[in-house]
Chain A
Amino acid sequence: MTAQEVRLCGLLLREHFGEVVEKVGRHLIRSGAQNLRTLLHETGISIDLVKKSLCVLVQHGVCVFSSGRKGPGSPTEYRTSCDRILRILRYPRYIYTAKTLYGDTGELIIEELLQRGDMTMSSTVKTVADRLTQNMEEGRSMDYSEVSSAFSKLVETHFLQRCPPMAAAATKNGAASATPATPATPGTPAAPVSTTLPTPESFPDCYRVPHVTLIGKGKRRLSNEDGEDQRSAKRAKIDSETHGDEGIYWQVNFERFHLHFRDQAIISAVANKLDQTSSEIVRTMLRMSEVTTSPTATCTKPLSANEIFRSLPSSYNIARPILDQYLTLLVDDPMEFVGKAGESGGGMYVVNLHRALANLARATLESVVQERFGSRSARIFRLLLRKRHLEQKQVEDFAMIPAKEAKDMLYTLLSQNLVQLQEIPKTPDYAPSRTFYLYTVNQLPTARMLLQNCYKTVANLIERRLFESKESKRLLEKSQRIEAILASLQASGAEPEQLTEVEEMITAPEKQQLESLRLHINKLDSAENQVDETIFLLESYINSTVTS
């Protein structure tokens, strides 16, 4: 929980849930596990609001509660962690991935689940069907069964998982989101005392689709119900039908998406370094090991060349000997994406996941140094990465850079903490004239430092975006009012002159300002997503070194 992480989490919470939740969440992040009373006391917010904020946080899986430290009788404690909040930054990427893999239906399912935190299957299916029907032409509607099948596919490939059942929680009513579940009040019969909560995967039914009876089609909402709809969406939808899956809530399995992203990164790296066919081979290998490899494995399970040959997509009909050549080339490549694990079955090959992540992280570091300080500093940086420890003179000789400039660049890198100095004394008294000073680069600490910089960058971008909208708040409000007037005029069938008159109310420079504002905000948004890609690479690399 570094300062940058806390700041970024605060901003994300504020954008998605509002200021009260932000305050509560920030407090929880900073102080660790706390019970309700301390929380009330320290944040100074009224108990209603605190309870509601905690509900929101628990609903989204951000906050978890467990029984207190002092034993079964003590008040429950609430805990939250930065990681889960930082995932919010990645929601667009998850939705986009679901769209590419499972089409619009998948996209909407994931979007709904991300928005609501967790939902039952039946309510998800209904909502998504309604939304899809809304966008289709008149007379057509989306069948529930199609949406259900998309849902089941998502569960089969482990993108969705069941929420772990909370023994201590009061049962949530069957309907979707907005009903706040009563938080575990002090004194409720407690769950077995364990500070580590069970992961969703420890339950055997984690990925089992329940048998639901869902027959029907999506309902198209008429346009005059739009206004009512918005209001009723906030109120609890009391659904009288039951579909046989009460109490079974589904959430998005972020880890699975992360594995997918990791595979994508490796495949595109192979495509950049070698060629398209090699990347297809690696894609096939990763696809085959999707379910057999654990998320923290160093490399995938060995696959024989025969199996790979059989599983290649049919559009790539390459001959068997050619495949062998490609595999040999992949193994010989200095990046070591693929390794050979044995000779049986025509050669057993594995994909070296951790090593690939380390190489990608290293390439990221090098690219940052290159863009920030120039290609000659990047040369020095790569030189130090390769040769580990070098003296000043050796750096100049190997990099073929004049002494003065090399010294300058090294000191700049040193001041930015990208390069470290190691002293090796010849005498016990560390006299400078009798000590070796060696320059070195440590990949892991540098990656951590860059990760913190990324968090700060994203927080800066979000702040700038909020600032820009605040600056033009008056203008935005005006344009919204005008749009509302226009829409109501159009609906009631006004003449074109009235419409143009209303449109004229926004002057041309204001239109330009609005346009540039829109561009700015889009740019900032897309920049956030780009920095998130870097964050993902660095985070995966750091996590892989922790477990190995």
Chain B
Amino acid sequence: MSDQLKDKHQRRERRTVKVPSDGSHGVRVKEATIRKNTDSVSIVSSMDELGHHDENTRMVVTMENTYQTAPHKRFPVPAVTHILKDVLSSYLQQEKYEVEWSQKMTKTICEVIRARVKDLMIPRYKIVVLVHIGQQAGQSMQMSSRCLWDATTDSFACYSFTNSSLFGVATVYGVYFE
């Protein structure tokens, strides 16, 4: 089995403007499929790219110096945890694990969480959202993460939800852009 993600990365077009944009990826662990579409060839882990089809017609934007040494408003961990709890509970409460449904749901939940965190309007923060949905089958699992960042400005929030047939874990990292 080859573990190579090739053309997906070469496909990234040249972008010369510094404005934040959104991109989402989904990874399916169980099914190894080879999908060819016009944009990319993915092998083993199927990666979907949504909203990544920007044109190369943007202007170059130069940002002025803000003389700001620290963020005015920090990443609000409790507020984001509340969002995660809300979203996961409402989407997964009475559901049973199904392959196709879970695949779609993972991506949907990801987008919803990202949209809601964006709505909090925390200036100069970049957001990374991670969602895992898995089947409860008596297996054991461990997830860990480590981050190299500025501990005074950056932070994360996470929440996990379980019911009898599935579990869902959502994590949001907020990274300050100096």
Is B one of A's binding partners?
A: no
A interface with B by C-beta (< 8 Å) = none
